[in-house]
Amino acid sequence: MDSLGLIREFLHDRLGVAPEQVVPEAALAGLGVDSLMMLELMFEFEDRFGITLSKSLKSPKTIGEMIALMDRLYREQSAS
């Protein structure tokens, strides 16, 4: 599963957000993602992709920023 797929599945399961609403331009807060939900999403990403995230990461504001962050961290981890 890719990053966008993971985010769509997570938001649908937890918040009932329709997958077609989860587009790169969408603001996470506008979809109902608060700081606790963001942590849960990041933990899900760690579990699914076997990555340990830094505690100092800046929280993304949009779906696109979240995808870019996840993809970058996955590439970095895979290159190690």
Q: What is the pLDDT of residues 16-36, one digit of tens each?
A: 999 999 999 999 999 999 989
Rg of the Cα trace of the chain? 12
Share of the chain above pLDDT 90, in %: 52
Domains of the chain: 3-79 (1.10.1200.10)
First to last CA, the chain: 21
- Whole-prediction pTM: 0.86
**Does 80 score more than 80 pLDDT?**
no
Phi and psi at 58, nearest 5°, equal -80, 135
